[in-house]
Each structure stands twice: as C-alpha cells, then as structure tokens.
Amino acid sequence: MSAGRILVVDDEPQIRRIMRTTLTGAGYEVDDAKTGEEALEKLRDYHPDLVLLDMNMPGMGGLAACREIRAGTGVGIIMLTVRNTEKDKVEALDAGADDFINKPFSTPELLARIRAALRRVPASAQSSAARVRLGDLVIDFVGRTAFNGVRTSHLTPKELDLIRYLTSHANEAVAHRELLQAVWGPDYGDQVDYLRVFIRNLRKKIERNPDRPEYLATEPWVGYRFNGTPEPF
Amino acid sequence: MNRLALRLLLSLAGVAIVTATAFYAIPHNPTTVGFAYLLLVLVIASNWGLPEATLASIAATLAFNFFFLPPIGRFTIADPQNWVALFSFLATALIASRLSARANRQAEDAVERQRDIERLYTFSRAILLTDPGEPLAKQLARKLAEVFGLDAAVLFDRRTGEIHRAGPADFDGMEDQLRDAASQGTSYFDPEHKRVITAVRLGSEPIASFAIQGPFMQDSVLQGISNLIAIGLERARAQDLAHQVEAARRSEQLRTTLIDAMAHEFKTPLTSIRAATTSLLSSPDQPSASRTELLEVADEEARHLQVLIDDAVDMARLESDQIQVRREPTDPKELIDEVVASLRTQIDNRPVEIRSDGSLPQLSLDRRLLKLALKQVLDNALKYSPPRSPITVGVSNGGGAINFEITDQGPGIPEQEQGRLFERFYRSPSVKKQVPGFGLGLAIANNIVQAHHGTLTVNSRPGETTFRLTLPLLDKEAGSAAGGGTGRGVRQ
C-alpha cells in the first residue's frame, strides 16, 4: 500500500528523475509528464492524489494546466516555481493550486509539503455528516460539491477542509493561524496570503454575492467566521 | 546718396515741366497753375519723401512767383493779395508733403514689421521641425542666417559650451563677447560692422547668446529671436532628459529580464543538485541503486551548470567585446555531431535526424565559437517546437558554401517578428512568458556567423521553421588565417 499516488509534471528530465527516485523512496507511487498537455492526458487514467506541477513549461504552461486540472478534478496540486514573488504565489493559488514550492528546494521540505497537501482534517462530529444545509446553501462533503442556490461547484480538497473546519466551528471567529495550521499543517501559521486566496475562491462557490458574503464573514484582524448553523440532512 | 540726388533733380525737372507746359502750351490763370504745382508736390511726397517734396515746393513757389504772378518775369509781387496766395501755396505744399511722407513711412514700417513677423514665424516653425540627428544649436544658427537673410549668425550654447556658426560671411572672433553675453546677459552693438550680440535668457537666467551680422533689426525682433532660441534650446534639453529617462528605464527592464532568465537557467540544474543532495543527507540509508541515481544526477547537473556558466561568460564576452576568430580546419559533420551530443539533456530522447552530404570539404573556422552558434540555433529549435516533434539537422555543400540547416516543426514565426529575431534581447511576445531565455542566443549566433563572413537566415511557416547557417568555402580571411590562429576583430 503506497502513501499516495503522485504525478510529477516538469519539462526538465533531470528533475523528473530526482523526483521519481526520491518520492518512490518515500513510499509514494510516481508517474511523470513532460508538459501540461501530457499531464491532462495522464490524469484521465492515472488518478493521482497529488500533482506536482512546474510553473514554467513549454506549451500551455503550468498556470493554464493548473486551471484545467482544477476545472475537472479536486486533486491536490502543488506548484513548483523558480520565482519567489508575491505575484507568482497569488497567481498559482488563484489558478487552483493548494500550495507551492520555490526552486531550488530541499527534499525534506518537499516531502513535508506533500504530506501537508495529502493530509485531511480529522472529521469532527458536526462535519462528519455527508451533507449539510443552511438556507439555499448545500455542502456535500462526500460528493465534494457546494450548491449556492444557483449553481453547483466542485470543491478542492483544501477548500473542502476549510469549509469543514469553519462549519464545525460555526458562529465562532476562527483565527488565521488556527485555520492555517488546521488545514495545511503546523508549518503554515504565517501564510495568511494563502487564506485570502482560498477564502475568495470559496466565497465564489458558496456565496450568492461574493463581494457581500452572507456565510463566510471576515473578522477584521482576527480571521474568519461562518455565520449560521448548517444542519445535516 | 546718388538715388536721392537723382530724385531731387527729377523733382526740379518736374517743376520745370509744369512751368513750361503752363507758360507756353495751355491757356491758364494763376489758380490753375497753383493747383498743378500742388498736385506735383503731392505726387512727389507720396512716392519719394520729404526732402524731394520740400525742394519741389520751394522751386514751385519761386517759379509760380516768377512766371505767373504779376509783375511777370520778376521776383517781386505787386498785389499784396498775391503774397498771401504765394505763402499759402508754400505752406500747403510743405504740410501736404510732410503728411504724405509720414503716411508713406508708416506704410513702409508696417510692411517691414509684417516681414519681421513672417520671418519670426518661419524661424519658430524651423525650431519645431528640427532634425534629431544634428545638434539643435547648430540648426538654429543655420536657420537664423537663412530666414533673416543675414551675412553671418553665431550661436553660443552655454550648456554644451559649443559655438555654432552659419551664414555666407566670415564672422570670426567675438567668442569672448559671446561668452560674456551668455554668462552675464550683456549686449553689444557694433554699428560699423553691423554686428549685434544679444543674450538668450530663460526667465532671468542667460542660457546662450547669439551674434548676427547683417541688416538692421528692431529690438523687438532681436528679442523675439532670443525668446524663440530659448524655447528651442529648452525644448531640446527637455527631450534629451526624456530620452535619458527612457533609456534608463529600458536598460532597467533589460536587466530585470536578464536576471529573470539567468535565475531560471541556473536554478534548474541547481534544483536537481539540491534535491539530490538533501535527499541523500536526510535519508542516508536508502538503497544503493537510488543513491547512485541521485549522485549521478547531481554530478551531471553540476557539469551542466559548468557549461551554462562557460556559455554565459562566452556570451558576455561576445556581447561586450570584439569577436576573436581563431580558425582551425574543421569537419562540418563532426561539428554537428558534437553540438547534438552536447545538447543531449535538452534533446531528451526527441528524434533528431542528422543528414549530411557524403563527402564534405573541411572548413577553416573557430570551432568553439561555431559550436556555440549552432548550439544556440538548435537549442532554439528545441525550445520553440512541440516536446516530441522531430528536428532535422542537415549539412550540405552547395553554392560555394557549407550550409547548416536546422528544421523544427514548431508553430512558426510570424513574418513581422522574423526581422527582429536576431536583435539582442528580442523575445517574441507570444512565447516569452512560457519559455525562459535571454533573448541573446540568436543574436550571438548571428554575430559569430558574420565574423566568419557567413549568413544566418530564417525561413518559417506554420509547422516548419528552418534556420540556415551558411559559411563560404572560399573565405580570404580563412586562407590566411587557417591554422595560424590569428584573430580578427569584428565590431558589434
């Protein structure tokens, strides 16, 4: 039984070699692709738990590939990028990545991030329900979807974890740090920019008007709060 | 002076003609004759001027007295009434001629002023329509002489410290006065040589000065010229400044692009090395097969890094210096094989077909440089075509030259971009986001090929792009330099 299936997408053959050796050694099952196009093709048959996606690739490029993968599945995505700017981070997270790693990286860091991405929030009593409802809003934790009264959207694993954590602490202000550590892991307490992007994406999926959120409220200087108590059904 | 004397004589002649005509030809009385004289004086005054009209008035008065007022034939006058008539005539003639001459002069002034304004306007247009390839001050001096019809015009620009001369006449010297005028705002006037030196001020600050030699000019015109020159110089200075700012901005942008590309290029092997070493360090007890694999990759990538650094150093040298071509006899096919082998990692199992004519003559060329050039072109083909598509590298003998042709099945290069491909730092807007690079490779390949008197051309359509590198077989330089290793410098 492997620790998980990982698809490595990078145009550099040497990086694919290293990843294959390292990740196989760490107990993962690994396949690789040279381009975003090839990755999309492979995703159809090989159902990975996680995609390690390079940002700079010939062809469609990493960001476009990330968007396409995200549009079709809820698989975890970690982007690898050479540039370490705020803009790149936001672009990667906006495109649907769960996390990203700067090149060059150390193998222990890579493995830690992979573990964080594959980690699931332990289900509490409240959120162990398969589906919850609050007014028009329906969240299906098994089907990984959200219905905001108008349309149904897919939720990514991290989005699902976020909403699960927030609804299980409904009507409480949850601090940034607490939320980050609960969803991404103990090393992520300071990555408030991650949260901002994910909350924005989540609002687009569960709110009727993401600019004036009804459920996912911002608690200034503290964190976020889920308004109302969703009922299992 | 001669013209005035002639006019005075003609005025006297006019009086004589009226007198003779009235005296001999026509029946007359003193009143009609008086009016005839008056008419003559007015005509003279309006056409010529006050001196002529005054002379004609006095002559006409004397003639009127002598020939037409009794007693005729003498300068005495019998009837006191005729004295009154005679002096009224003189006064009328003088006043009329004065008025007429003044009107005349004012009209002339108006015409002169209009011409001045037209010239100032022409000069102002000339300031706006300048040629950016020549110092503005020089153009201003030339236009000044041209537009105002000056014998000579000299312009001293205090900012550059240069003196620009124009006009048909020699106008040497006066440099000290020009400098004084430009620093202290003083003016000089030399009526003997018809020379004027005036300061050019911007606000109250003198920024330049000009000297002219030629027809007299009103102060207001000189002031106008001075203002226009000030505007022109200031405008040029503002443009220079804007250009400098733009150049600085572009070089900054260039630097960012370069650093970005370098970062990517160098970080790629570094990533593999670091991932391998940290993996070995963090779990030293992994199976020997995977340890070997990791060490192999680290070693290969360290070598890759070395090649990248060597290439970057070469490129920097080719960028900044002259190209030193060290020729040695080289087999073209061998050269291709070496280039393909050196790009093994980038080729990554892609089909690369090498086609060559059976027997190719040896070429005298700089092996290292040409390898670098071919590598850039092949690397370019690899980067900009689909990952698994085949690439053909051909080498053939034809047209007195050896032709290297590298063909890929990429999407093609739009025609409008083909002309700019070999420019330094040019990167096609359609791919520069996706494919990392310096925008230097093809420019450097082109420089190397030109240093060998060859050509690098591109022929592209969707689905097929061919770069053709042609090196002449009969290269005069090659003959003398073959094996000798003497360098030849080619300016970039």
B23-71 pLDDT per residue, tens: 887 767 778 888 888 888 888 888 887 888 888 888 888 888 888 877 8
In a domain, A126, yes or no: no
What's the pLDDT score for residue A9? 95
In angstroms, the separation between the Cα of residue A56 and the nearest Cα of chain B is 6
Give how far Cα B387 sits from Cα of A35, B350, B352, B384, B480, Å.
8, 7, 12, 9, 44
B101-137, pLDDT tens digit by residue?
A: 788 889 888 998 899 899 999 988 888 887 877 888 8
Do residue B284 and residue B347 come from a single domain? no
What's the pLDDT score for residue B191? 80
In angstroms, the separation between the Cα of residue A150 and the nearest Cα of chain B is 37
Half-sphere exposure of B372 (CA within 13 A, CB side): 28
Spatial separation of the C-alpha atoms in residues A188 and A165, rounded to whole Å? 16
Do residue A101 and residue A182 come from a single domain? no
Last residue of a domain, one of A118, A141, A172: A118
Pairing of strands A50-54, A5-9: parallel
What's the pLDDT score for residue A124? 46
For A20-46, what is the mean pLDDT?
91
Among the partner residues A14, A56, A107, nearest to B301 by beta-carbon distance: A14
**Domains in chain A, number:** 2
What's the pLDDT score for residue B1? 60
Alpha helices in A125-175 (DSSP H): 157-168
Q: Among A8, A10, A16, A17, which would you mutate to test the B interface (most chain B Cβ atoms within 10 Å of its Cβ)?
A: A17
For B262-268, what is the mean pLDDT?
79
A157-192, pLDDT tens digit by residue?
A: 888 889 989 988 889 899 999 998 888 887 787 888
Rg of the Cα trace of chain B? 45
What's the pLDDT score for residue B488? 40
Do residue A74 and residue A106 come from a single domain? yes
Q: Among A14, A63, A105, which would you mutate to test the B interface (most chain B Cβ atoms within 10 Å of its Cβ)?
A: A14
What's the pLDDT score for residue A70? 86
What's the pLDDT score for residue B257? 67
In a domain, A124, yes or no: no
Q: Give the domain CATH number at A24.
A: 3.40.50.2300
Cβ-Cβ contacts under 8 Å, A58 against chain B: 383-384, 386-387, 434-435
Interface contact B271-A105, CB threshold 8 A: yes
Q: Are A49 and A22 in contact (CB under 8 A)?
A: no
- The residues that bridge with B210 in the sheet, in sequence order, are B155, B198
Interface contact A107-B282, CB threshold 8 A: yes
Cβ neighbours, 10 Å, residue B209: 31
Classified as helix, coil or strand, B223 is helix
In a domain, A125, yes or no: no
Q: Are B189 and B196 in contact (CB under 8 A)?
A: yes
What's the pLDDT score for residue B254? 66
Q: What angle do CA A25, A27, A29 make, to 5 degrees?
A: 100
**Domains in chain B, number:** 4
Give how far Cα B414 sits from Cα of A59, B409, B433, Å.
17, 14, 17
Q: Is B244 an 8 Å CB contact of chain A?
A: no
B348-371, pLDDT tens digit by residue?
A: 788 999 988 878 888 888 888 888
Q: How many Cβ pairs closer than 8 A exist between chain A and B?
A: 94
Spatial separation of the C-alpha atoms in residues A226 and A229, rounded to whole Å? 8
Do residue A108 and residue A139 come from a single domain? no
The token pair that represents B141 in the structure block: 């001096």
What's the pLDDT score for residue B149? 86
Do residue B474 and residue B388 come from a single domain? yes
Last residue of a domain, one of A118, A148, A163: A118
Give how far Cα B158 sits from Cα of B126, B180, B209, Å.
21, 10, 8
The token pair that represents B394 in the structure block: 């051909």
What's the pLDDT score for residue B482? 40
Could you tell me which chain B residue has the CA closest to the CA of A60?
B434
Do residue A30 and residue A86 come from a single domain? yes
In a domain, A66, yes or no: yes
Do residue B341 and residue B397 come from a single domain? yes
Q: Are B277 and B301 in contact (CB under 8 A)?
A: no
Last residue of a domain, one of B77, B111, B145: B111
Q: Give the domain CATH number at A217.
A: 1.10.10.10
Greater confidence (B398 vs B430) lies with: B398
Q: Is A186 an 8 Å CB contact of chain B?
A: no
Q: Are B214 and B151 in contact (CB under 8 A)?
A: yes
Do residue B228 and residue B308 come from a single domain? no
Instruction: Examine the pLDDT at B477 and tell me if it is beyond 70.
Output: no
In a domain, A123, yes or no: no
The token pair that represents B62 in the structure block: 């004397």
Interface contact A106-B273, CB threshold 8 A: no
Cβ-Cβ contacts under 8 Å, A88 against chain B: none
Spatial separation of the C-alpha atoms in residues B50 and B168, rounded to whole Å? 36
Q: Is B76 an 8 Å CB contact of chain A?
A: no
Query: Domain containing B155: what range?
Result: 132-242
Greater confidence (B470 vs B134) lies with: B470
Average pLDDT, chain B: 82
Could you tell me which chain B residue has the CA closest to the CA of A62?
B434
What's the pLDDT score for residue B438? 64
Query: Domain containing A223: what range?
Result: 131-232
Do residue A110 and residue A187 come from a single domain? no
Among the partner residues B279, B301, B345, nearest to A107 by beta-carbon distance: B279
Q: What percent of chain B has pLDDT over 70?
A: 89
Q: What are φ and ψ of residue B197, in 5° steps?
A: -120, 130
Among the partner residues B273, B279, B287, nearest to A22 by beta-carbon distance: B279
Could you tell me which chain A residue has the CA closest to the CA of B388?
A34
Q: Give the domain CATH number at B283.
A: 1.10.287.130
In a domain, B36, yes or no: yes
Interface contact A18-B282, CB threshold 8 A: no
Do residue B263 and residue B238 come from a single domain? no
Interface contact B293-A21, CB threshold 8 A: yes
Instruction: Examine the pLDDT at B433 and tell me if it is beyond 70.
Output: no
In a domain, B250, yes or no: no
Do residue B263 and residue B310 come from a single domain? yes
Cβ neighbours, 10 Å, residue B441: 21
Q: Are A207 and A216 in contact (CB under 8 A)?
A: yes
In a domain, B62, yes or no: yes
For B328-333, what is the mean pLDDT?
90
- The residues that bridge with A54 in the sheet, in sequence order, are A80
Last residue of a domain, one of B211, B242, B273: B242
The token pair that represents B295 in the structure block: 């060490």
Cβ neighbours, 10 Å, residue A222: 12
Q: Are B411 and B381 in contact (CB under 8 A)?
A: no
In the sheet with B152-157, reading across from the earlier edge strand, the strands are B162-166, B152-157, B205-213, B195-202, B188-190
Average pLDDT, chain A: 86
Whether the predicted interface score ipTM is above 0.85: no
Q: Is A21 an 8 Å CB contact of chain B?
A: yes
Spatial separation of the C-alpha atoms in residues B437 and B444, rounded to whole Å? 13
Q: If DSSP states are collapsed to H, E and C, what string results for B111-133?
A: HHHHHHHHHHHHHHHHHHCCCCC
Do residue A51 and residue A113 come from a single domain? yes
In angstroms, the separation between the Cα of residue A94 and the nearest Cα of chain B is 18
Q: Is A228 an 8 Å CB contact of chain B?
A: no
Spatial separation of the C-alpha atoms in residues B431 and B418, rounded to whole Å? 14
What's the pLDDT score for residue B180? 85
Q: Is A13 an 8 Å CB contact of chain B?
A: yes
Half-sphere exposure of B111 (CA within 13 A, CB side): 6
Give how far Cα B71 sits from Cα of A124, B18, B32, B234, Å.
148, 20, 18, 78
Do residue A74 and residue A102 come from a single domain? yes
Q: Return the amino acid letter for B451.
A: A
Interface contact A22-B433, CB threshold 8 A: no
Spatial separation of the C-alpha atoms in residues A169 and A126, rounded to whole Å? 9
Q: Give the domain CATH number at B378.
A: 3.30.565.10
Last residue of a domain, one of B273, B299, B318: B318
Greater confidence (B160 vs B302) lies with: B302
B198-241, pLDDT tens digit by residue?
A: 888 888 888 899 888 888 888 888 888 999 999 888 888 888 88
Residues 6+ apart with CB under 8 A from B490: B322, B323, B325, B447, B450, B451
Last residue of a domain, one of A92, A118, A144: A118
Cβ-Cβ contacts under 8 Å, A52 against chain B: none
Do residue B81 and residue B67 come from a single domain? yes
In a domain, B451, yes or no: yes
The token pair that represents B450 in the structure block: 């030109």
What's the pLDDT score for residue B10? 92
What's the pLDDT score for residue B110? 92
Residues 6+ apart with CB under 8 A from A170: A126, A226, A227, A228, A229, A230
Q: Among B265, B267, B271, which would you mutate to test the A interface (most chain A Cβ atoms within 10 Å of its Cβ)?
A: B271
Q: Dihedral angle at the C-alpha atoms of A35, A40, A44, A46, nearest 10 degrees? A: 40
Do residue B349 and residue B427 come from a single domain? yes
Q: What angle do CA B112, B116, B117 make, to 5 degrees?
A: 120
Spatial separation of the C-alpha atoms in residues A59 and B286, rounded to whole Å? 36
B402-418, pLDDT tens digit by residue?
A: 999 999 998 888 888 88
Cβ-Cβ contacts under 8 Å, A21 against chain B: 279, 290, 293-294, 297
Do residue A98 and residue A50 come from a single domain? yes
Instruction: Examine the pLDDT at B431 and tell me if it is beyond 70.
Output: no
Do residue B294 and residue B156 come from a single domain? no
| CB-based burial, B354-390: b 16+ in 10 Å, e otherwise | eebeeebeebbbbbebbbbbbbbbbbbbbbbbebeee
Do residue B355 and residue B465 come from a single domain? yes
Do residue A29 and residue A113 come from a single domain? yes
Q: Give the domain CATH number at B153.
A: 3.30.450.40
Do residue B327 and residue B476 come from a single domain? yes
Do residue A108 and residue A192 come from a single domain? no
Do residue B326 and residue B472 come from a single domain? yes
Q: Dihedral angle at the C-alpha atoms of B334, B340, B342, B345, nearest 10 degrees? A: -160
In a domain, B82, yes or no: yes
Whether residue B206 has a cis bond before it, omega within 30° of 0: no
First to last CA, chain A: 34
Do residue A114 and residue A184 come from a single domain? no
Cβ neighbours, 10 Å, residue A126: 15
Spatial separation of the C-alpha atoms in residues B23 and B68, rounded to whole Å? 8
In a domain, B97, yes or no: yes
Spatial separation of the C-alpha atoms in residues B51 and B48, rounded to whole Å? 8
Among the partner residues A18, A104, A109, nearest to B267 by beta-carbon distance: A104
Do residue A47 and residue A81 come from a single domain? yes
Pairing of strands B363-365, B328-330: antiparallel
In a domain, B251, yes or no: no
Closest CA to B301 of B362, B247, B356, B344: B344
Whether residue A104 has a cis bond before it, omega within 30° of 0: yes
Residues 6+ apart with CB under 8 A from B422: B442, B443, B446, B456
Q: Is B258 an 8 Å CB contact of chain A?
A: no
Interface contact B297-A18, CB threshold 8 A: yes
In a domain, B492, yes or no: no
What's the pLDDT score for residue B475? 60
